[in-house]
Amino acid sequence: MDHHMGTPFLIVLASGIFWMLGICAGSVEAIEADEEHTVSLYQHLAPATVFLSSSYQSRHPLVTPPSTGVGAGFILDETGTVLTNAHVVEGASAITATLYDGQRVKADLIGIDIYTDIAVVRLAHVKGKLATVRLGNSDHARIGQQVLVLGSPFGLGFMLTTGIISGLAPLPGAVKLSESQLIQTTAPINPGNSGGPMVDSEGRVIGITTAVLAGAQNIGFAIPINTAKAVLGELKQKGRVTRPWLGVGGQFTTDEIRILFAFPLVPGLLVEDVEEGSPAAEAGLRAGTFHMVVEGIPWILGGDIIVAIQEESIHSPRVFSDVIKTLRVGQTVKIEFLRDGERHQVFLVLRDRPTSLPKTTGPPDRRTTGVLPGGTLGSVQVCCTRF
């Protein structure tokens, strides 16, 4: 009897072993296929990535010697058009590009936009055919999605790091001229990665590596490629981006801040600084002076609250963004604002936004983008909407 029962048991046991071996074999094959895919992506993308070295001349070379900065970029077309970060090449007296095949060539600055941290350079006198990247759609980026980052960290060579998209949020300290969010990633980023491509699992560029959070581990940021697409044509054609300029910066009041304080706060843009020489300054708009920190977020209260532009209520950042997209340089606009509980209005002419970062009436730590050469984000500062 035991003999007859043992045979089916052995058959079941053997079947289970073969089933487990099949799973293990399948897992190994899946891992190997994933590795081969990553290797293939690198082999395709590395030749389309360049290492950039920027030279900076000192006005007093005997006192301050010339300096250099490093970064990366990626090739868009066979004419040698390269997309990179503005902070990688801004102010450089010379830019040298090192290609994957070892060629070192001059790179000419074609256009730069410090507000989006985007720059376009063009490679000169390249021998042979250039590899190029494919651009993806960053609007489809999802938290948890796998990404790869290419660059030349510390100039050590063309390297690849991997991670996931860990968040989609504004970069702390960034001057926001639109509602576009930055892509946060766990992929390790180091000096020399700035300006390099962030790609999805299909090898399509969805972001431009731009910064890391100082003092944190594996918290890096990339500019969505759609942000670059929006300014690329204008940078190639004119070398800069034309934007209407009012000259104010601030935050939108929230329900919490309106309930907490007895100030006459209404939905709108609370003016926290006014740029020197701007249409807003000439029209007499006032920035706040009363500093408060609410739940870790700095506020400057007491300034004008812009409640409407061209008779369109701007009660939220999204509505504000939609309104300013309709405005043009040279246009006369009606600004309605609240001051000391009373509603006022003023008409002013929008001018072309200067290409340099704004000088404001606000505190110094509110005047920078937070992105430093080398791609390191300093202390976390509050974001402000600027127009």
- The encoded tokens of residue 161 equal 């790091």
Active-site pick, 53, 54, 87, 278:
87
CA 380 centroid distance within chain:
15
d(CA 234, CA 248): 24
d(CA 245, CA 236): 22
Q: Can 87 be counted among the known catalytic residues?
A: yes
Q: Can 117 be counted among the known catalytic residues?
A: yes
Contact assessment for residue 249 and residue 382, using Cβ atoms and an 8 Å cutoff = no
Active-site pick, 53, 54, 138, 194:
194
Q: What is the dihedral of CA 97, 190, 386, 261, to 10 degrees?
A: 180
Active-site pick, 53, 54, 113, 117:
117
Phi, psi of 153 (to 5 degrees): -60, 125
Phi, psi of 302 (to 5 degrees): 95, -5
The helix/strand/coil state of 237 is: helix
Pairing of strands 204-213, 134-135: parallel
d(CA 90, CA 52): 12
Q: Can 2 be counted among the known catalytic residues?
A: no
Contact assessment for residue 242 and residue 230, using Cβ atoms and an 8 Å cutoff = no
Pairing of strands 248-252, 384-386: antiparallel
Task: Name residue 207's amino acid.
Answer: G
Contact assessment for residue 184 and residue 165, using Cβ atoms and an 8 Å cutoff = yes
Catalytic center residues: 87, 117, 194
